Structure formats: structure tokens, C-alpha cells
Amino acid sequence: MKALTICGTRGLFGSVRIPGAKNSVLPMLAASVLCHGTVTLTNVPCLSDVASSVRILQSIGCRITQHSGCISVTSPETPGNAVSEELMRTMRSSLFYLAPMLARTGRARIGTPGGCRLGARPIDMHLSGLARMGARAEENADGSLTLSAPDGLSGADITLRFPSVGTTETLLMAASTARGESVLRGVATEPEVTDLARFLQSAGADITGIGTRTLRVRGSDCLMGTRYAVCPDRITAATVLCAVAGCGGEVLLTNIRSAHMAEVLRALRGAGCMISASGEDSAALASDGTLRAAGERETGVYPAFPTDAAPLLAAALLRAEGESRVTDTIFENRFACAEGFAALGARVSVRGRTLEVRGVPRLAGAALRAPDLRGGAALVIAALQAEGESRIAEAQHISRGYEDIASLFASLGADIAWVNQ
């Protein structure tokens, strides 16, 4: 197990090239099982969730080659159709293998997916959508689920009760090779969903309405190998910006899509940061480290302020003059990191889905524990603002979604390092 030690209160200065998006590459790796031939993904971030995906792909017979930011996946004629309990528990994204295995083999056996404990995170919408396409589900004695579609999947007209990102991606993968047409209504429009749809199109899928709340998919007999570049990670970008905003300093981000970050940029401008987006693929932020409180800020489905950035913004506001209230409308338990904020001397309280922050003049280093991926990153941002040394245990949560968060912030002048826990 790894921990991070951080000595704060330094300004952060420099430039960062933003890597490919975790939440794009993970569904794409699963979708590669739909493709006959070799899929090559480029701009792939080096994350432990990507390593877990490679283990799942190899466990169902796929051949993998990897080199410097590229991954190639070649699926066998008949891939395996079960993911082990151990691999299912590595991340929420293990759930993405359900539809491709079902579509390719007519069967799929999965256990309960892992992932950040942000709330109940049921999979009912995935299952009910696949049922509408002809899949039959049965629970096994060990609690795992077996879905079967011996006659293959058929297109359907499905309306989501909530624009779930994962459900949209599951049904998009299933519809891409289902018999006939599917209409998916009320879908998510996050950039990572659009990225997956464009990846599937590049493999031969017939999808229209990309970027809107209604996707029309005409099932293809088979999808072919392709080469595709993963879009930049807007949450990694938000993490760097929130850290510089809270600590003070100046940073230039390159390889971003500023259009994907409009609400994050707006929130940081509102807190008093100077932000200039020179073109679509770069942005600069300058902050004197004394931010204005945010007042009321609420997350929502894209293009609203993203749920994953809620703890990151809160961390930047811990020393902001005045009161901020950040409400996450997506997950019930987004602010498990509040305990760590309080240990650093922040004045915070969680009421339901809302984190209330009353800014304090200074924070002091403490012993912390990462509760989940974005909560762990938020504790890094908070500890970078604290006087003295902090230590973040359970930091493996953070490595699921950031290439090397210590090197990332050390390159901007932070005193941060990995240590054995």
C-alpha cells in the first residue's frame, strides 16, 4: 500500500500536458471486445484502472500489446463470457464488459462491480435496458448474475429515467451490433460518452445524434478493428486548476478541450482566479491563493458542473473568505473527504448531499486517509495548502485515476512524494 507525504503552502507554477481521459478509455477497452480485428487506442493514460482492464481483457482471451501511451487489443473469435469476482471488484468499469460479452457470445456472467463508495450505485438501469433488447438475467447461488441472449440482442426504443453515463455506454455498446435499430432517449451527453460513440463509429457502428439526449443506432453485423485517440481528461485538468487556485500560482494546461470544462472554468473565475483560454486546447490560470467563497454551487449532468470536480472545488475553497455550499445532485456520498478537510483544520460540515465550508485563514498538516479517488485528490489539494507535513494513507485510490499525482504536483514545485504506508 502506498501513502503520500505533502509539505504545503508553496505556490504552484509551471505547465501540464493533460493525459487521456480515464472515463473514456475504460469503456473503449471494453468495447474493443465487440470488434473483429485489432483495436489500437492512443493517448492512453497510465492508470491502475487501465491495468485492471487489461487483466479483464486477457482473462477473456484478448491479446494485448502496450507501449508508451498506446494499447492494442485483439479479441479471439469467441471471447470468454465471465469476469471473475476478484476482477469485478477492482473498479466500477468492470461492469462495461457485460454488454460486449453478451453481444459477442450470447451469455455474460458478472459479479458486483467495485469502484468508489459514492452511494448505492445500483445497476438496475443497465439490466433493464439490456432486458428490453432481449437479454434474460438470472441470479446464481453465489450472488453473481448470468445474462443470456441465445438469439442475440435486438434493437429497442429505450428511455432512461436518468441520464446515467454508464447505462448510456452499456446500451450504446449493446445496440451497436444488435439486430435492427435502437433509439436511446434521455441519454447522458458527457464528453466521455461522445468519445465512446465516436470510437464505435470509427469501428463501423452506425450511430446518429451523438452529443444529444437521443441516440439512434442501426446495429452492424460486426465492428472492425480501428485506431482511435482518447480525448483529454477534463477531471485531471480540473484537479490541477483547483490545486493552483487554492495554493496560489500560475499554470498553463495543454492538450485539453476547454469546451468540456466551461462550468469548472466559470466556477474558478467566480472564485477570483484569472483564467485565459488561448484556443480550444489550452488554458492558463493565475491565482493569488486568496479566493472568494463560492456561495451556492450545485453539480449536475453534463454540461452542468461535474460531480467528480465537486470535492476538488471544495478543497480549493477551504481558505476562501466567507461561506461556500457545494451540493452533489448525482451521488449520495460524494464528500467522504470532509473528515480529512476537518483534520487539517477546515471548518466544514456535511448535510445530506451538501458540503458547507466556512473559510479559515490557515490549514495545518495532519494524518489523512483517502476515502475514494476524487476525495483522495481533494485531500492532496487541501494538504498542499496546509502548513507542515500531511500524510495521506490508502493513496492507491488516487492511482486509479491519476498517472502519478506526486510527480504531477512536484513538477509544479510542490513538496510531495510517495512513501510506503
Under the criterion CB under 6 A, does residue 122 sit at the interface with ligand EPZ?
A: yes
Shortest distance, position 362 Cβ to ligand EPZ, whole Å: 29
Tell which one of 23, 236, 327, 390 touches ligand EPZ (CB under 6 A). 23
Tell which one of 93, 154, 287, 324 touches ligand EPZ (CB under 6 A). 93
Shortest distance, position 164 Cβ to ligand EPZ, whole Å: 3
Q: Which of residues 123 and 343 has its CB atom nearest to ligand EPZ in the complex?
A: 123
Q: Which of residues 75 and 94 has its CB atom nearest to ligand EPZ in the complex?
A: 94
Distance CA 124, CA 121 (A): 9
Q: Which of residues 27 and 155 has its CB atom nearest to ligand EPZ in the complex?
A: 27
Q: Which of residues 84 and 329 has its CB atom nearest to ligand EPZ in the complex?
A: 329
Q: Are 343 and 304 in contact (CB under 8 A)?
A: no
Among residues 110, 103, 281, which one has the least CA distance to residue 200? Answer: 103
How many residues lie near ligand EPZ (CB under 6 A)? 27
Q: Which of residues 116 and 414 has its CB atom nearest to ligand EPZ in the complex?
A: 116
Under the criterion CB under 6 A, does residue 352 sit at the interface with ligand EPZ?
A: no
All residues at 6 or more sequence positions from 148 whose CB lies less than 8 Å from its CB, including other chains: 102, 106, 107, 108, 135, 136, 138
Q: Which stretch binds ligand EPZ (CB under 6 A): 50-58, 112-120, 286-294, 384-392?
A: 112-120
Distance CA 255, CA 241 (A): 14
Under the criterion CB under 6 A, does residue 174 sit at the interface with ligand EPZ?
A: no
Question: If you search the block for the grid coordinates 510517495, which residue do you land on?
Answer: 418
Residue type, 261: M
Q: Are 229 and 15 in contact (CB under 8 A)?
A: no
Under the criterion CB under 6 A, does residue 373 sit at the interface with ligand EPZ?
A: yes
Distance CA 88, CA 98 (A): 11
Under the criterion CB under 6 A, does residue 239 sit at the interface with ligand EPZ?
A: no
Distance CA 74, CA 366 (A): 47
Q: Which of residues 217 and 398 has its CB atom nearest to ligand EPZ in the complex?
A: 398
Q: Are 180 and 157 in contact (CB under 8 A)?
A: no
Three-state SS for 204-227 is CCEEECCCCCEEEEECCCCEECCE
Distance CA 309, CA 322 (A): 20
Tell which one of 97, 228, 331, 402 touches ligand EPZ (CB under 6 A). 331
CB atoms within 10 A of CB 50: 22
Under the criterion CB under 6 A, does residue 307 sit at the interface with ligand EPZ?
A: yes
Tell which one of 17, 76, 78, 119 touches ligand EPZ (CB under 6 A). 119
Q: Which of residues 293 and 308 has its CB atom nearest to ligand EPZ in the complex?
A: 308
What does the longest C-alpha to C-alpha distance in the chain come to? 65
Under the criterion CB under 6 A, does residue 132 sit at the interface with ligand EPZ?
A: no
Tell which one of 16, 71, 99, 116 touches ligand EPZ (CB under 6 A). 116
Shortest distance, position 280 Cβ to ligand EPZ, whole Å: 22
Tell which one of 8, 19, 100, 166 touches ligand EPZ (CB under 6 A). 166
Shortest distance, position 78 Cβ to ligand EPZ, whole Å: 27
Opening angle at CA 173, ends 328 and 176, nearest 5 = 140
Residues known to be catalytic: 116
| Radius of gyration in angstroms for the set of CA atoms belonging to the chain, rounded to a whole number | 21
Footprint on this chain of ligand EPZ (rule: CB under 6 A): 22-23, 26, 92-93, 116, 119-126, 162, 164-167, 190, 307-308, 330-331, 373-374, 401
